[in-house]
A and B are shown apart, each in its own frame.
Chain A
Amino acid sequence: MDPARGTDRHDGGSGPWPPPMAGRNDGSAPRQGAFHLYWRLVAISIRAQAQYPGSLLLLSAGHLVVTLLEFLGVWALFDRFRLVRGWSLAEVALFYGLVNLSFALAEAVGRGFDAFDRLVRTGEFDVVLLRPRSEVLLICGQELRLSRAGRFAQGLIILGWGMSSLGLAGRPEVWMRLAWAVAGGTALFCGLFVLQATIAFWTVNSLEVVNTVTYGGVETAQFPIDIYPSAVRAFFTWVVPLASLNYLPLRGLLRGGDPGWVGWAAPLAGFLFLAVSLRLWRFGVRHYTSTGS
C-alpha cells in the first residue's frame, strides 16, 4: 500500500481491521500534546469573544460594577458596627479579595464544567466522547470566559486597598503567599464546578444545590470563617475546604500564632479537592455511558 495515499483499503480483509489510522502520529509531536490542544481551543474561544470587543468590554465593566455593588453591603455593615469579632474592614478586604480572585479565575477557566448540564441535555457530550482525547481537556477548552475580568478586577482592587491600608503592600513575601492561596482557591472552585458537572450525569435539575456551595461559599468566605457557628466552620474547613484559601493563609499573617508553614500548606487542600472531584467525574462518565441518560 502506498502510504501517501490513504485511499486503497481493499486488501481482502487480512490483517487487523479497521487498519490503524495511518495518518496518526503516535510519536506525539509536541504540537499535539495536551497543552498544545488546550491553547488551540482556548485561543479559538478568545477570538470568538473578541469578535465583539464592545460587548466584551461592557460585560466586564458591568461585572466589575455589579461585584463592587456587592461589596457595598459589607462596607455598610462596617460603617455601622466598625468591627466584626475583632476584624476590621481592611482585614476583611483581604479575605474578600482572595475569595473573589479565586472564584473569578475558576469561573473563567472552568466555564465548560460550570455549563456542563447543557452539554448533557443537548447530547453534545456524546460528540465529546467520540473524540479520541481526554474529555476533561476538551471540556476545559470549550470556553475561557474573559468577562470574568470584571470580578477579578474587583477582587484585585479590594485586596490592594486592604493591603495598602494594612501596610502590607510593600512586602513581596506576602504577595507570593497570597498568589499561592489564589492558586489553591482556583483549584478548589474548579473542583466544585467539576463536582457540579458530575451531578449533571444523574440529574440536571438539582444543580442549584451545588450553586449553594459555590456562590454560598464565596459569600461565606468573604468574611473570616471564625465569625460563623461551628457547624458552618467545620463544613468549610473539612468538607469543602474554603478555609484553606483565605482564612488559614491570612490568620497567621494578620494575627500571628500559627507556624509559618500552615499558611503555605493550606492551599494544597484546594488541589486535593480538585483531584478528588476529577476522580468522581470519571465515575460519572462511566455512569453516563452505562445509562445513556
Chain B
Amino acid sequence: MTCAIRAEELRKTFRVRETASGLGGTLRSLLRPRYREVHALAGVSFALEPGEMVGFIGPNGAGKSTTIKILSGILVPDGGTCTVGGLVPWERRVEHVARLGVVFGQRTQLWWDLPVTESFDLLADIYRLDRARAARRRQELVGRLDLGPLLDVPVRQLSLGQRMRCELAAALLHEPGLLFLDEPTIGLDAPAKLAIREFLRSLNREQGVTVILTTHDLDDVEALCRRLVVIHHGRLLFDGDLDGLRARVTSERRLTVDLDGDLDPARLPGVTVVAREGRRLVLAFDPATVSAPELIARLAALAPVRDLTVEAPPIEEIVAGFYRGLDP
C-alpha cells in the first residue's frame, strides 16, 4: 500500500535574533547580536493515505506552516524523513511541485494585474500542460467554481471570496493529486466559505484528491475533515477524529431547557449552570455521573419542561480547553 504522505520525526529549528529594548540594548545588540532558538518542529510524525482530507490546527506559530512548507519541498527539515508520493519533496523539488497544488490564503499566486483567464493561460505554460487537456480541465473548474463572470476581471479587482475561488482553480489546473491549503477561508464571508467548503468536499470525494488544510476556522475542520491533527509548540499532540479530541478534553454534555416555571438547580445533583437567561437554563453534566435520560426525568419531575436539547460543547471550546490543558 502506498502512503500518500509519510513524515517521520520531522524537526526544524529557526534562529531568531533578539533585540534588547532601550538605547543601551540597541547598542549592545549592535555589537553582539544574540540569537534565540525556536523549535518550530520538534519531532512530528504522521502518515496520510491517498484520498484523505486532514485538518491541521494549532495556535499561531505552532508549526503548521512549517510542516506545509516541508511537505511542499520549499523547506528542508533539520532532521527526520518525509516522502510524498514516493519522493522526498526537497530533493527533487521541481518534479515534486509539478504534482502539487498549493493555496495560501494570504498570498496570491495569480498575476495581480492580469485578467484571471490570462493567469490561467500562463499557468498552463508554466506547468507545460497539454493544450486541449488544459482547456477541458479549465472548463470543468470554471463550471464548478462558477468563475464564468470573473474570467475577464483583473485579479486586483476581485473580492476576497472571488479571488479565493480563482486561486483554487489556479492551483488545480494541472490536476494535482495532492492539495495543500493554508488558511483558505481566512477573511471570507459566510456564503463564500460555504461555497469553498462545498467545492473542496466534492473535489475530495469525486476526484480523490488528497487534501491537507491548515486553518483557524474550526468550522472548516468540522465541516470537511474526518481527521484532525493538532500541532502545538512544534509537537503533534493529537491525531484522530473530532469525537476523539472531545473525549480527550471533556466528556461533558450540555443540556439546554426552556421551563414553564421556576427551578432551583441545586436540587439537581451532578450538574453545573453554564448560563441562565429568563426561563432558559443551560446545564453542563458528565454522562458518566448522570446519564441524559436520567437527568431529563429528574428535571421534568421538578418543573414543567417546554423544550430541551442535549449537545456536546462547541468545537472552539473543545480546542481551547485542549490548549489550556497543555499550557501549565
A–B direct touch in complex (beta carbons closer than 8 A): yes
Assess whether A16 is in contact with B100, with CB atoms less than 8 Å apart.
no
Is B90 positioned at the interface, with any CB of A under 8 Å from its CB? yes
**A7 within 8 Å of B by Cβ?**
yes
- Residue B208 is within 8 A (CB to CB) of chain A in the complex: yes
Q: A32 near B128 (CB under 8 angstroms)?
A: yes
The minimal Cβ–Cβ distance linking A165 to chain B, given in whole angstroms, is 44
Question: Does more than half of chain A's interface fall in helix, strand or loop, or is it mixed?
Answer: loop
Q: For the complex, what is the distance from the CA of A28 to the CA of B127, rounded to whole Å?
A: 11
Q: Given A17-B2, A132-B95, A132-B98, are A9 and B207 also a contact pair (CB < 8 Å)?
A: yes
Inter-chain contacts of B129 with A (CB < 8 A): 23-25
Which residues A114-157 have CB closer than 8 A to chain B? 122-124, 126-127, 129-133, 138
What 0/1 pattern do residues 8 to 29 of B give for CB contact below 8 A with A?
0000101100000000000000
Given known contacts A18-B178, A131-B97, is B206 in contact with A37 (CB within 8 Å)?
Answer: no
A40 close to B (CB within 8 Å): yes
B residues within 8 A CB of A26? 128
Q: Is A289 an interface residue (CB 8 A)?
A: yes
Q: A229 within 8 Å of B by Cβ?
A: no
**In contact, A44 and B97 (Cβ under 8 angstroms):** no
In the bound complex, how far is the Cα of B128 from the Cα of A32, in angstroms? 6
Query: Is the C-beta of A10 less than 8 angstroms from some C-beta in chain B?
Result: yes
**In the assembled complex, how far is the CB of residue B133 from the closest CB belonging to chain A, in whole angstroms?**
4
| Chain B, range 87-114, C-beta contacts under 8 Å to A | 90, 93-95, 97-100, 102, 104, 107, 109, 111, 113-114
Residues of A within 8 A of B136 (CB): 4-6
Complex Cα–Cα for A152 and B74 (A): 38
- Asked whether any CB of chain A lies closer than 8 Å to the CB of B252, the reply is no
Cβ contact within 8 Å between B86 and A16: yes
- Interface segment out of the listed B118-126, B241-249, B302-310: B118-126
Contact A44 B75 (CB under 8 A): no
Confirm or deny: A210 has a beta carbon within 8 angstroms of a beta carbon on chain B. Answer: no
CB neighbours (8 Å) of B207 from chain A are: 7-9
Of the stretches B169-177, B273-281, B289-297, B319-327, the one at the interface is B169-177
A289 contacts B126, C-beta separation under 8 Å = no
Chain A residues with Cβ below 8 Å from B109 are 127, 130
Pick from B49, B98, B209: contact of A13, CB below 8 A: B49
Question: Which residues of B are found within 8 Å of A5, using beta-carbon distances?
Answer: 136
Given contacts A8-B207, A18-B4, contact A133 B126 (CB under 8 A): yes
Distance between Cα atoms of A40 and B126 in the complex (Å): 10
Q: A17-B4, A21-B98 are in contact. Are A10 and B128 (CB under 8 A)?
A: no
What's the least CB distance linking B12 to chain A, in Å?
8
Q: Does B200 contact A (CB under 8 A)?
A: no
A24 in contact with B178 (CB, 8 Å): no
Known: A6-B137, A9-B207, A126-B69. A25 touches B99 (CB 8 A): no
B1 at the A interface (CB under 8 A)? yes
Binary flags per residue of A17-50, CB closer than 8 Å to B gives 1, else 0 = 1111111111010011000110011001000100
Contacts A17-B85, A18-B50, A44-B122 hold; do A132 and B133 have CB atoms under 8 A apart?
A: no
Judged by a CB distance under 8 angstroms, whether B117 is at the interface is no
Q: Does B134 contact A (CB under 8 A)?
A: yes
Residues of B in contact (CB 8 Å), total 56
* Cβ-based interface call for A230 (8 A): no
For B1, what are the chain A residues with a Cβ–Cβ distance below 8 Å?
A: 13
Asked whether A6 and B102 contact (CB < 8 A) given A28-B128, A131-B126, A289-B90, the answer is no
Closest to B72 in A: A130
- Tell me if B107 and A21 are in contact (CB < 8 A): no
Contact A129 B126 (CB under 8 A): no
Query: Scoring A residues 53 to 89 as 1 if CB is less than 8 Å from chain B, else 0, what string do you get?
Result: 0000000000000000000000000000000000000
Report the bound CA distance from A126 to B126 in whole Å.
16
Which of A9, A44, A51, A132 gathers the greatest number of chain B CB atoms within 10 Å?
A132
- Interchain CA distance A8-B175 in the complex, whole Å: 11
Q: Which of A14, A21, A36, A130 has the most CB of B within 10 A?
A: A130
User: Chain B residues near A123 (CB, 8 Å)?
Assistant: 107
From 137 to 176 in chain B, residues with beta carbon under 8 angstroms from any chain A beta carbon are 137, 140, 174-176
B127 surroundings in chain A (CB, below 8 A): 21, 23-24, 131-132
Q: Is the CB of B128 within 8 A of A25?
A: yes
The yes or no answer to B66 lying at the interface (CB within 8 A) is yes
Chain A residues with Cβ under 8 A from B313's Cβ?
none
The 8 closest A-B pairs by CB, nearest first: A18-B177, A132-B98, A9-B208, A129-B74, A23-B133, A6-B175, A290-B76, A32-B128
- In the assembled complex, 29 residue pairs joining A and B whose CB atoms fall closer than 8 Å, in A order, are A4-B133, A5-B136, A6-B133, A13-B1, A13-B2, A16-B85, A17-B86, A20-B99, A23-B127, A23-B130, A23-B134, A23-B137, A23-B174, A23-B175, A24-B128, A24-B174, A25-B129, A44-B114, A51-B113, A122-B107, A126-B107, A129-B74, A129-B97, A130-B102, A132-B97, A132-B98, A138-B126, A289-B90, A290-B75
